[in-house]
Amino acid sequence: MHLYAIFALPFLGALAAALLPSERFRPLLIPAVGLLHAYYSLRLAFAPQPYPPDAMLGLDALGRLILLVVSLLFAASSLYAVGYFRTHPTWGNRIFIVCLLVFLGAMSLAAAARNFGLLWVAVEATTVISAPLIYFNRNRLSIEATWKYLLICSVGIALAMLGLMFVAYAGLQAGQGPGLQIDRMLAEAGLLSKPWLRTGFVFLLVGFGTKMGLAPLHTWKPDAYGEAPGLVGALLAGGLTSVSLLAVLRALQIMTAAGEDILARQFLLILGILSLIFAAIFVIRQRDIKRMLAYSSVEHMGILAVGLAVGKLAAYGAMFHVMNNALTKGALFMCAGNIHRYFGSKRMCETRGAAAALPWSATLFLIGFLAITGSPPFGPFISQLTIIRGIFDGGNVLLGIGFPFLLLIIFIGMSTTVMPVVLAPAEADPSPGEGAKETWLTVLSPLLLMSAVLVLGLSLPEPLRRLFQEAADLIEVGP
């Protein structure tokens, strides 16, 4: 019953938003749907419901984790959305809000899909429906970003479809009845034809990896994140990437069940390390705070991929990191949005001294930066440390040294951008009333998210720990 609520709510909300004539009250639908959705997701996440083996929909530990992450992020950012539209009361918001809610519905659908085809459909739907969100600012830059995002991700997703078909063909060749039902594929994975399965995995990884933003398939990411409103950036960087990661995890699950996990892990490791290197190169001297965050997102996708590739303890760390990354990145993008709106620019040189003008947002931005780069006592510190420990447990010393080294470079690179923005004395006072000041709504969301990240770092609640562990165990199930 609750399972259906998580799709029904966003879609009904979208319908209501489409029909509601009032531009003023329409934004209120977002927190209404978001909070209810979060309520149901919380209940689902910690009270697993069994589902029949041939079901189209059902939530296993991975699905519950991703659903929880997406839902919490959305609920927190829904408050920000209300504040966002208060500052722009004249902007038409019907399409934006409808798309936003459908976006949530599609992400929930992806989390609960038990059929690989359905998962694909949901992920593709998120691509299409988020394009209008990125284009919300309606200028040359955002149209360019939207076009690149739409085309690159559509092609990526099409490649994933091809991979899916290869995997299905592997099943056809094994003589088992063809099908893309995940549980059945897992159960019969040992029979799958290996060459087709391997090729299929590569395509799936490339396809969904494009959507995740793993280097070198990340090229759309800085543009899309840079030009989208902060709210959308938060949902893309925290929600969409997690959902795409889920699709990659499903592929990894099948490979592991078929006894092909070594190959899969190698590919993941290569893409993960590449992502870290790319992020390290481009984050240095990055003048644009949102683009900097985009590269940070590439970095964290790389961290997740490395964690998954190493496995065991690191896989647990990666599951933990999914949540940390989503919540922290959400807070960062919303703060960046506040700064962007106040200064009318997201260039580093034009946003100096934000702390004086926007005390809350700037402080939260700084804290978020410290958290995301892995400073104690926040959640990402614990999860990254767990991944590093996992690497050393696996005996890969070279990686164990190189990985933190890359993280350090990225920390330094990001700090050269963040510090001037937050702490430098303002060069010229922007005339009062020029930019939009922060309001309690636009500050509350990142504040909530950052407190959650702090709690995760200080003491991880037991049910959550169990959820991460169960999710990590699912990936590790061998043949």
The contact set with other proteins (CB under 8 A) reads 56, 115, 117-118, 120-121, 124-125, 127-129, 131-132, 135, 138-141, 143-148, 150-151, 154-155, 158, 161-162, 165, 168-169, 171-173, 177-180, 193, 195-196, 222-223, 226-227, 282
Choice between 151 and 397, CB closer to other proteins: 151
Task: Please work out, in degrees rounded to the nearest 5, the angle formed at the alpha carbon of residue 25 by the alpha carbons of 450 and 230.
Answer: 35
- Minimum distance, C-beta of residue 376 to other proteins, in the bound complex (Å): 32
- Minimum distance, C-beta of residue 118 to other proteins, in the bound complex (Å): 6
Question: Distance between CA 112 and CA 475 in Å, rounded?
Answer: 16
DSSP 11-59: HHHHHHHHH---TTTGGGHHHHHHHHHHHHHHHHHHS-----TT-SB--
Choice between 53 and 463, CB closer to other proteins: 53
Local structure of residue 285 (DSSP, 8 states): T
Omega before 216 within 30 of 0, i.e. cis: yes
Choice between 143 and 454, CB closer to other proteins: 143
- B/e letters for 93-122, b = 16+ CB within 10 Å, e = fewer, are beebbbbbbbbbbbbbbbbbbbbbbbbbbb
- Minimum distance, C-beta of residue 223 to other proteins, in the bound complex (Å): 4
Task: Please work out, in degrees rounded to the nearest 5, the angle formed at the alpha carbon of residue 275 by the alpha carbons of 297 and 310.
Answer: 100
Local structure of residue 376 (DSSP, 8 states): T
Choice between 125 and 326, CB closer to other proteins: 125
- Minimum distance, C-beta of residue 107 to other proteins, in the bound complex (Å): 15
- Minimum distance, C-beta of residue 218 to other proteins, in the bound complex (Å): 12
- Minimum distance, C-beta of residue 169 to other proteins, in the bound complex (Å): 6
- Minimum distance, C-beta of residue 405 to other proteins, in the bound complex (Å): 23
Choice between 28 and 277, CB closer to other proteins: 277
- Minimum distance, C-beta of residue 224 to other proteins, in the bound complex (Å): 9
Q: How many CB atoms lie within 10 A of CB 50?
A: 8
Closest CA to 41 of 7, 81, 77, 11: 7
Choice between 118 and 348, CB closer to other proteins: 118
Choice between 114 and 329, CB closer to other proteins: 114
Choice between 260 and 438, CB closer to other proteins: 260
Closest CA to 189 of 477, 462, 391, 454: 477
254: which 2 tokens? 């099948």
In a 13 Å sphere around the CA of 304, the CA atoms on its Cβ side amount to 29
Task: Please work out, in degrees rounded to the nearest 5, the angle formed at the alpha carbon of residue 453 by the alpha carbons of 295 and 336.
Answer: 45
In contact, 301 and 213? CB cutoff 8 Å = yes
- Minimum distance, C-beta of residue 201 to other proteins, in the bound complex (Å): 16
Choice between 168 and 391, CB closer to other proteins: 168
